[in-house]
Chains A and B, each alone.
Chain A
Amino acid sequence: MKILMTVLSAVAVLATASLPAQDVGVMPDLKPAVYALQGATVHTVSGEVLENGTVLIRDGLIEAVGAGLEVRAEARRLDLSGMHVYPGLIDALTENGLMREGREGDDSGRGQSSDNGEGPGLYSYVHAADKLDEELSSKLSAWREAGVLTLHVAPADGIFMGQTAVVALNSSNDPDRMIIRSPVAMRMSFEGLSGRTYPGSLMGVIAHIKQTLLDARHYGQAQRTYGENPAGLRRPETDRALQALQPLVEGQMMAVFPAQRAREIRRVLHLAEEFGIKAAVAGGFEGARTAQELAQAGVPVLFSLDFPTQPRDQHPDAEESLAAIRYRVEAPRAASQLVKAGVTVAFTSGGSRNARDFQEGLRKVVENGLSKEDALQAATLNAARILGVDQQLGSIEKGKIANLVVADGDLFEQDTALKHVFVDGEKFDIASKPKRKAPQGDGQPVDFSGRWDVTVMAPDGNQQIEFDLQASSGALSGAVISPSMGSVDIYDGSYTGNEFTFKITVDMGMGPTEITLSGTASGNEIVGIADVSGLGTAPIEGSKIP
Chain B
Amino acid sequence: MRSNLFIIILVLALLSLPAWASDIVIRDASIMTMGPQGTIERGSVLIRDGKIAAVGSDIDVPEGAQVVDAQGKWVTPGIIDCHSHIALDSINEGGTNVSSMTGTEDVINADNFTIYRDLAGGVTSANLLHGSANPIGGKNQVVKLRWGKTGEELKFKGAKPGIKFALGENPKRPGIPLYTRGRDRRYPASRMGVEDVIRDAFNRALAYQAEWDEYEEKKARGVSPLIPPRRDLQLEPLVEVLKGERLVHSHCYRADEILMLIRVAEDYGFTVGTFQHVLEGYKVAEEIAEHGAGASTFSDWWAYKVEAYDAIPYNAAIMHNKGIVVSINSDSGEEARHLNQEAAKAMRYGGLDAEDALAMVTINPAKQLRIDDRVGSLEAGKDADVVIWNNFPLSVYAIAEEVYIDGQRYFSREMEAQRLAQLEEEKKRLLEQDKSKKGDQQEKVEDVDVVHSIEEGGRQ
Contacts and interface: CB of A to CB of B under 8 A. Distances in A.
A309 B439 contact: yes
A485 interface: no
Interface SS of A by simple majority: helix
A325 B227 contact: no
B89 interface: yes
B227 A225 contact: yes
B102 A201 contact: yes
B37 interface: no
Contacts of B232: 211
Contacts of B93: 198-201, 203-204, 207
Contacts of B102: 199, 201, 203-204, 206-207
Interface in A318-333: 320-329, 332
Contacts of A310: 434, 436-439, 445
A204 B95 contact: yes
B233 A211 contact: yes
B96 interface: yes
Interface in A70-102: none
Interface in A37-83: none
Interface residues of A, number: 54
B334 to A, nearest CB: 18
A371 B428 CA distance: 27
Nearest to B95: A198
Interface in B74-98: 89-96
Contacts of A270: 152
A311 interface: yes
B227 A328 contact: no
B152 A266 contact: yes
A262 B152 CA distance: 12
Given A211-B101, A311-B445, A203 B106 contact: yes
A324 B95 contact: no
Contact of B444 (A208, A218, A262, A311): A311
A425 to B, nearest CB: 36
A196 B91 CA distance: 15
A321 B430 contact: no
A222 B90 CA distance: 34
Given A204-B102, A309-B439, A311-B442, A323 B448 contact: yes
A229 B226 CA distance: 10
Interface in B123-169: 130, 138, 150-152
A489 B354 CA distance: 72
A168 to B, nearest CB: 28
Contact of B430 (A218, A229, A329): A329
B444 A308 contact: yes
A433 interface: no
A320 B233 CA distance: 41
B431 interface: yes
Interface stretch (B108-116, B239-247, B297-305): B108-116
Contacts of A229: 225
Q: Which of A208, A229, A262, A323 has the most CB of B within 10 A?
A: A323
A442 B153 CA distance: 74
A309 B436 contact: yes
B443 A311 contact: yes
Contacts of A325: 427, 430-431, 434
Interface string A175-195: 000000000000000001100
A307 interface: yes
A201 to B, nearest CB: 4
Q: Which of B93, B101, B423 has the most CB of A within 10 A?
A: B93
Q: Which of A200, A201, A202, A207 has the most CB of B within 10 A?
A: A201
A263 B151 contact: yes
A323 B109 CA distance: 13
B329 interface: no
B439 A263 contact: no
A306 B152 CA distance: 29
B436 A328 contact: yes
Interface in B234-280: 234
Contacts of A263: 89, 108-111, 150-151
B107 A206 contact: yes
Nearest to A326: B430
Nearest to A271: B106
Contact of A322 (B90, B94, B430): B430
Contact of A323 (B231, B436, B447): B447
Given A201-B90, A325-B430, A266 B150 contact: yes
B104 interface: yes
Contacts of A215: 230
A228 interface: yes
A31 interface: no
Interface of A: 192-193, 196-204, 206-208, 210-211, 214-215, 218, 221-222, 225-226, 228-229, 232-233, 236, 261-263, 266-267, 270, 306-314, 320-329, 332
25 contacts: A196-B95, A198-B95, A198-B99, A201-B90, A204-B90, A204-B95, A206-B102, A207-B99, A210-B101, A218-B230, A229-B225, A232-B225, A262-B111, A263-B111, A306-B441, A307-B436, A309-B440, A309-B441, A312-B438, A312-B440, A312-B442, A323-B113, A325-B431, A328-B444, A332-B436
Interface of B: 89-96, 99, 101-104, 106-111, 113, 130, 138, 150-152, 186, 225-228, 230-234, 423, 426-427, 430-431, 433-434, 436-449
Given A201-B102, A263-B109, 18 more contacts: A202-B90, A203-B107, A204-B96, A206-B106, A206-B107, A207-B138, A208-B101, A218-B230, A225-B225, A226-B225, A311-B444, A312-B440, A312-B441, A323-B113, A323-B449, A324-B448, A326-B426, A327-B448
